[in-house]
Structure 1
Amino acid sequence: MSILEVLNREKIMAMIRGLRPDTVDRTVEALVQGGIRFLEVTTNTEGVYELVERLRQRYEGQLLIGIGTVLDADMAAKSIDAGAQFIVSPNLDEEVIAYGLRHEIDVFPGVMTPTEIVRAVNVGAKAVKVFPTGSLGGAAYLKEVRAPLDHIPMIASGSVGLNNLRNILDAGAIGVGIGGNLVKRQWIEAERFNEIQKLAREFMDIVAEFQAQSTGFLLSSSVAMEDPQGSRS
């Protein structure tokens, strides 16, 4: 499966930003035990490149690991050398997208407007990160912008939590990036890693419910199309 196919199935991309090195391992393990299969580690995390290289070795086959807050082609090069399986940016940088294309690594650039969304895809992005989703209007904005652009896969990032995850998914997001609303710094500092695991499971339960209902709807629609008179017989 491609990166996007897996993201479309798993939905949740947990983001690690600025954690102390001595807390990262237990945090990632808690996320994995909670069902998380996508991890973004940002470049403003100490030792990010060495960290990603180590996590790739430890969680091979369990996690897809990318590097976020990639702002230029040099950072993209370092990310790929470290083993990043995808790259995420808060902005639209065409050089970063081009570098990813040359190395067959998906780049998810941050975009706000329809113009940026279309531009990103035109220069080679397979999906875009709508950021900051919360400030833009959340699910309502995503739904509106997808109306004319529903052929473009969109990842929602910014202020996504348990309270609005389902609405964001219903609005058509292929996946969501979640940082502090999942990787809670106060819990990490208090070594309450079991709480992070439990919270991760709550997020994944919402995803499972959404996927089950979406599949059921598709199956029902398929039956109706195959036998349009079945309900009348």
Structure 2
Amino acid sequence: MELLSLLWKKHLLAIIRGVDPESSFRAACVLAEEGIDVMEVSLTGADALKVIGRIRTELGDQVTLGAGTVLTRAEADGARDAGAEFLVTPAMCEGATRGIELGMPTLVGALTPTEVWTASVAGATAVKIFPASVHGPSYIAGLREPFPRVPLIPVGGVRVDQAGAYLDAGAVAVGVGSPLIGDAADGGDPVALRERARRFRRALPHGEVLP
């Protein structure tokens, strides 16, 4: 399934960033087991490209896998070669430009209206509103008025009790790191991760019809 359609259906993009590669991989396995199967591995995590490669090899098509915090052209190329299917950036940077050049689905980070429009016309698959916690769900609703056809994905500090409000405000999906992953990618309790995953799943609708 095409990435944007999948995000409209799933409403959740998990963000894995860890200091322990083995724990990062295990976190991905737990998420997949709990039905959270659209995920990115941040390149700021330890041995991130190796983690991406291992997830791709061992989980295969069980997950839709991306690379996050992609800043440079080299990082975009490396993520693609490791097995990432899509890229996520914090800004309209060289990594975003390269991802678009490669024809990879690319979620480009922005915050202001000017940045949102710049990312959209550059070819972003969707615009990642980051950090979303600065303004909250009402800001997404505000952006939807001038940009009704630009897919928006709030990322950064999205709590489980806010996820539904972001979707109601017009977001395609929410991107969630620490509130979902916690310390699981750093060697923390995978059982606690499983419970957080279930709470997020319960908080979100599923199977929404595309607009």
Range class of TM-score, shorter chain: over 0.9
1:92-111 matches, cutoff 5 A = 92-93=92-93, 95-111=94-110
Given the alignment of the two structures, is residue 36 of structure 1 paired with residue 40 of structure 2, yes or no? Answer: no
Identify the residue that residue 172 of structure 1 maps to in structure 2.
Answer: 170
* Change in CA separation of 1:188 and 1:45 when aligned onto 2, cut-off 3 Å: closer
**Which residue is equivalent to 2:141?**
143
Aligned counterpart in structure 2 of residue 198 of structure 1, from 187, 195, 198? 195
Query: Could you report, residue by residue, the CA deviation over 1:74-100 in whole angstroms, capped at 9, with x for unpaired residues?
Result: 11111111111111111111x333322
SS at match of 1:140: helix
Question: How far off is 1:25 after superposition?
Answer: 2.8
Q: CA deviation at 1:120?
A: 0.8
Give the structure 1 partner of residue 115 of structure 2: 116
Report if aligned partners of 2:18, 2:185 keep a CA contact under 8 Å in 1. Answer: no
8 Å CA contact 1:187–1:196 kept in 2: the answer is no
Structure 1: distance between partners of 2:98 and 2:184: 37
> SS of the residue aligned with 1:18?
coil
CA contact (8 A) 2:20 2:185 kept: no
Once the 2 structures are TM-superposed, how far is the Cα of residue 178 of structure 1 from its aligned partner? 0.5
After the TM superposition, list the runs of 4 or more consecutive aligned residues in structure 1 that deviate by more than 4 angstroms.
none
Gaps spanning 5+ residues in structure 2: where? Answer: none
Task: Could you tell me which runs of 5 or more consecutive residues in structure 1 were left unpaired when the two chains were aligned.
Answer: 219-233
Q: Is the 8 A contact 1:31 1:200 kept in 2?
A: yes
**What is the SS of the residue equivalent to 1:45?**
coil
- Secondary structure of the 1:148 match is coil
- Give the 3 Å change call, closer, same or farther, for CA 84–186 of structure 1 in structure 2: closer
Distance 1:46 1:182 in 2: 19
- Alpha-carbon distance, 1:42 to partner: 0.7
Q: For residue 147 of structure 1, what is the amino acid of its counterpart? A: E
TM-score under structure 2 length normalisation: 0.93
Tell me how far 1:187 sits from its aligned partner: 8.9
Structure 1 CA distance for aligned equivalents of residues 105 and 185 of structure 2: 32
Report the 3-state secondary structure (helix = DSSP H, G, I; strand = E; otherwise coil) of the residue aligned with 1:118: helix
The 1:186/1:75 distance shift into structure 2, 3 A limit, reads closer
Aligned length: 210
Calculate the aligned-residue CA RMSD, in Å: 1.8
One-letter amino acid of the counterpart of residue 122, structure 1: V
**Distance in 2 (alpha carbons) for counterparts of 1:187 and 1:85:** 21
Corresponding residue of 1:85: 85
Q: What per-residue deviation string (whole Å, max 9, x for no partner) do you get for residues 116-174 of structure 1? A: 11111111112110000101x11011101111111000111011111111101101111
Identity %: 31
SS in 1 for 2:99: helix
Contact 1:106 1:126 survives alignment (8 Å): yes
Question: In terms of Rg, which structure is larger?
Answer: 1
